[in-house]
Amino acid sequence: MFPDEADLLNGLCSPLSEPEARMYSPLTLAFLGDAVYSLLVRNMLAKTANKPTGKLHKESIIYVNAAFQARMIKELLPHLSENETYIFKRGRNAHSAHSPKNQSDADYRYATGLETLYGYLYLCGETQRLIDIFNLSTYKNYLENQENK
């Protein structure tokens, strides 16, 4: 992506130790991870095109939805560490009172797992790993979409 992407997230919160971050519920981590992921998507879109906000929003929902996020985590699974896979599975298997409206239940659970991973890595201060994961999946997909236009 861009060399300074980790700076976007660094310093926004004091990093926690892995045991401290693991104490958070998976759905709390997903809540935070959703915001982190959305910020990265918005940052990517804003930096690559100076467009009206309505167009930016329409582009962002391509990437910030359960079906896309489920596809991204499935591509990422072989690249995750054992610990990252464990965190993803905690999120995927968490029981939420929310039921998806326009998404399949399976996609929603996988997307929750991805968001859990983003929240966990953010809390641990692993911003470079967050960026690596984002670049390996979402940004790579964005570039491929731009080439096909």
Residues labelled as active-site residues? 34
CA 93 vs CA 18, 46, 102, 131: distances in Å: 20, 33, 20, 24
Greatest Cα pair distance in the chain: 45
| Mutual angle of helices 26-48 and 105-123, in 10-degree steps | 90
